[in-house]
């Protein structure tokens, strides 16, 4: 006796819904948290949500332009991580606690 197992294939709309949920989590994290490192990770989550939507839409229209856009977004995000984390880590070494309000003194 064989049992038929139906496998549900995810469609592009599932990926877009997941992307919207991830972007919403990142947005809430940026608005609620005051720790710059956590805010930085939430911004990266938002960027990855946009990348997921680019790839999902590019596969729907069978075009490579979305994947090329994701490549450039990842390059910019990598540069952002290097500079931003360097600044945040150097400030966090000097202080025991750090909030975004403390970083406003860096204006000059």
Mean pLDDT of the chain: 85
pTM of structure: 0.77
Q: What angle do CA 23, 12, 74 make, to 5 degrees?
A: 50
**Is the model's pLDDT at 79 over the cut of 70?**
yes
**Is the model's pLDDT at 101 over the cut of 80?**
no
Query: How far apart, in Å, are the Cα atoms of 61 and each of 37, 54, 97, 98?
Result: 37, 11, 48, 45
List pLDDT tens digits, range 13-42: 899 999 999 999 999 999 998 888 888 889
List pLDDT tens digits, range 55-71: 998 888 888 888 898 99
- Interval 7-17 mean pLDDT: 87
| Contacts (Cβ under 8 Å, ≥6 apart) of 31 | none
H or E stretch covering 71? helix 65-94
CA distance 48 to 51: 5
CATH fold of the domain at 12-107 = Helix Hairpins (1.10.287)
Go through 65-102 and write b for each residue having 16 or more CB atoms within 10 A of its CB, e for each that does not: ebeebbeeeeeebeeeeeebeeebeeeeeeeeebeeee
Domain boundaries, given as residue ranges, for the chain: 12-107
The percent of residues in the chain predicted with pLDDT above 90, rounded, is 34
Better-predicted residue by pLDDT, 104 or 63: 63
Query: How far apart, in Å, are the Cα atoms of 91 and each of 15, 26, 97, 103?
Result: 37, 23, 10, 8
């Amino acid at each position: 006796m064989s049992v038929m197992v139906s496998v549900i294939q995810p469609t592009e709309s599932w990926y877009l819904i997941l992307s919207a949920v991830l972007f919403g989590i990142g947005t809430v994290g940026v608005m609620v948290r005051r720790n710059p490192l956590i805010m930085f990770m939430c911004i990266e989550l938002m960027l990855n949500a946009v990348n997921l939507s680019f790839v999902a839409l590019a596969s729907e229209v069978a075009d490579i332009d979305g994947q090329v856009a994701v490549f450039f977004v990842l390059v910019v995000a990598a540069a952002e991580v290097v500079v931003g984390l360097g600044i945040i880590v150097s400030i966090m070494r000097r202080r025991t606690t750090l909030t975004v309000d403390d970083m406003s003194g860096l204006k000059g």
